[in-house]
Amino acid sequence: MAGKHKNSKISAAGSHGGNAIKQSMGSRIFDVFNICLFILLAIVILFPFWNIIAISLTGNAEYMASSFILFPKKPTLEAYKYIFSTALFIRAFGVTFLITITGTALSVLVTSMLAYGLKKPNLHGYKFFMIYLLITMFFSGGLIPTYYNITKTLHLSNNILALILPGAVNVFNFVIMRSFFVQLPDSLEEAARIDGANEYTILFRIIYPLSIPMLATIAMFVAVGLWNSWFSAQLYMRDENWYPLQLIIRNYIVRNSKPADMQLMEGLRDAAGNRLYLNETGIKMACAVVSTIPMLLIYPFIQKYFESGVTIGAVKGGCVFSVDCKATAFQ
């Protein structure tokens, strides 16, 4: 009777508890510690960004009273109105978007075509090109030869192509792309060739759709690098009208060098005729915020693109192992 009663208690406990596993005290303490640690890290990481945003929304009088501000008493958009009322700042936005979009598209296209071609060991000159590319990954000619080639050989001084062409092929991205392409089944390409597809058809209509997650990742890193770049523009660009956004902001923040049309606006006055004294630090912080927002807005769309790319790749990846699907994959 006692045994039956004990077994009934165990079965009742199992039916009520299901498959739940009771955590030990040490495991709970570890979980609490991890949560507190990551919350602390999030605060430490987000605090500087919040401080920058707060200062950009602070008026000159309030900032002069206290330079440490977390919540402005009287938020104002004077700094943002100031920078967006300058023609050079707006033009720099357009130049930066042009460089980022064009450079990203060119880099992904050229690097992926190179990786697709060199994924085949039977290609003539395969070893030479692979060794050549890998050497350039670890060793560089330096700044002076690059500057000489761009300005003297290619005559791209003060040309926007000087900010795009030097980074068109990234060897590290090439290695990632080639490693991904090698993993794709060769039978897919063979089935496409039987149906009359050439190399470009295979690349653009079969390989690229299966590589969307990888291409999106590479494109994101290339775009962020181009958006934040300013050193190349400082080397090769002479016309201020073709300066990217980051170079203008860098000169303003580091060297306190304002564009000409921003200097003309220092004599602004209000409706009563009183001169407006703007928060110089707030203007610099507003520039930093404005230059960061576009990349932050792209990340949610890139995340969704990753998910859809993984789904497409999974569906087609499951389909391509069927002969019928392989034969119609590029149609």
What pLDDT is stored for residue 305 in this prediction? Answer: 59
Lookup: tokens for 5:
């009663």
Q: Please report which confidence band the pLDDT of residue 320 belongs to, taking 50, 70 and 90 as the band edges.
A: very low
List of domains in the chain:
78-328 (1.10.3720.10)
Calculate mean pLDDT across residues 17-28: 69
Whether pLDDT at 10 is above 50: no
Grade residue 311 by pLDDT with cuts at 50, 70 and 90.
very low
Q: What is the mean pLDDT of residues 105-114?
A: 92
Could you tell me which residue, 200 or 329, shows the higher pLDDT?
200
Q: What angle do CA 242, 166, 154 make, to 5 degrees?
A: 80
pLDDT at 256: 64
Residue 264: predicted pLDDT = 44
pLDDT of amino acid 259 = 57
Lowest mean pLDDT among 4-13, 22-31, 80-89: 4-13
Model confidence pLDDT, tens digit, residues 253-306: 776 655 555 554 454 544 444 555 567 788 888 888 888 888 888 877 777 655
**Distance, CA of 296 to chain centre:** 9
Q: State the pTM of this model.
A: 0.72
pLDDT attached to residue 189: 85
Alpha-carbon gap, residue 305 to 165, rounded angstroms: 27
Q: Which contacts (CB < 8 Å, 24+ apart) does range 238-242 have?
A: 238/157, 238/158, 239/158, 240/88, 241/88, 241/91, 242/95, 242/158, 242/160
Q: What is the DSSP string of 97-139?
A: HHHHHHHHHHHHHHHHHHHHHTT-TTSTTHHHHHHHHHHHHH-
pLDDT of residue 283: 83
pLDDT in tens, 233-250: 888 988 888 889 888 888
- Give me the torsion for CA of 193, 196, 199, 205, rounded to 10°: -100
